[in-house]
Amino acid sequence: MPTEKNIYRPIRAKLTDVIVESPTIKTFVLIPEEDFSFKTGQFIELSVDGIGEAPFTPSSSPLVKEKIEVTIMKTGYVTEYMHNLKPGSYMGIRGPYGRGYPVEKFFDKEVLILGGGCGFAPIRSLLYNLAAITDKLRKVTLCYGSKTPEDCIYKPYISELRKIPKFEVYRSVDKGDSNWTERVGVVTVLLDDVKVDISNSVAVVCGPPVMMKFGTLKLLQMGYPEHDIYLSMEKNMSCGLGKCGHCMMGKYFVCKDGPVFTYDEIKDQPNIWN
């Protein structure tokens, strides 16, 4: 008799490495004990045994099947436990859940990506995906902002990105230091620097709610159509299954109908920025 699929049961994954990205952000490298794959922008429910579970969008390439990387900022009870885990520990994974980035809709277009803080995590996964299909894209422009140079994550990866043809990287920090040579200011200032053909471009935004809000408003001012702005929404996605109700954003269950939405899909829903 085939095993009955239990939607609530996590699979175990071995933590093989923990990479310190910034004082508050670490990347966890996990090897699931069962087959596991995801599409870029989809999220997982990651759990610490007996402690709790939280939603994260993997930051690794969706094209790599044998391992999964999850970048986590220490912000609360569960993530504090996660930050204390050592390689060799086991975590639980449920998913993948939701609707990720519709990469095929980006073909033959410029992709402008606006990211802030730990919002770079889902974006890195998207960038890995886009880097594998550069022949299908016109250009990829990354605008990434963080609070300080110390808070900039994925520093080695930024160097790699700058070497990829058709990729451009712009960075800003709210407050620089003597070694910082790039822009200073909130991430939206980078949008003044970029050169994009808006008529043939899509924009992707991921980051803290306040950054998502002002980033989106700026993109609209620049002339991006509402249906070409893709937002990765962060809500309290608890079950991931479109059932528990914690992530309702108006008529949408963010976990199942999202987490990636176009702005025109959600602009009339309540509380999209908080």
Residues lying near other proteins in the complex (CB under 8 A) are found at 4-10, 12, 47-54, 75-79, 92, 208-209, 234-236, 238-239, 241-252, 256, 270-271, 274
CB of 199 to other proteins, least distance (A): 33
If the CB atoms of residues 148 and 238 are measured against other proteins, the closer one turns out to be 238
CB of 7 to other proteins, least distance (A): 5
DSSP 3-state of 225 = coil
* CA–CA gap between residue 84 and residue 99 (Å, rounded): 30
* CA–CA gap between residue 59 and residue 205 (Å, rounded): 15
Length of the chain: 274
CB of 259 to other proteins, least distance (A): 12
- CA-nearest of 230, 204, 68, 44 to 123 is 204
Q: What is the bridge-based pairing of β-strands 229-232 and 183-184?
A: unpaired
Phi, then psi, of 241 in degrees rounded to 5: -115, 0
Phi, then psi, of 260 in degrees rounded to 5: -90, 125
If the CB atoms of residues 108 and 268 are measured against other proteins, the closer one turns out to be 268
- CA-nearest of 94, 93, 126 to 203 is 126
CB of 94 to other proteins, least distance (A): 9
CB of 165 to other proteins, least distance (A): 36
If the CB atoms of residues 46 and 131 are measured against other proteins, the closer one turns out to be 46
If the CB atoms of residues 103 and 212 are measured against other proteins, the closer one turns out to be 212
CB of 266 to other proteins, least distance (A): 13
Phi, then psi, of 209 in degrees rounded to 5: -50, -40
Helix, strand, coil percentages in the chain from 3-state DSSP, rounded to 5? 25, 30, 40
Compute the radius of gyration of the chain from its Cα atoms.
18
| Contact predicate 76/85, CB 8 Å | no
If the CB atoms of residues 55 and 58 are measured against other proteins, the closer one turns out to be 55
If the CB atoms of residues 98 and 149 are measured against other proteins, the closer one turns out to be 98
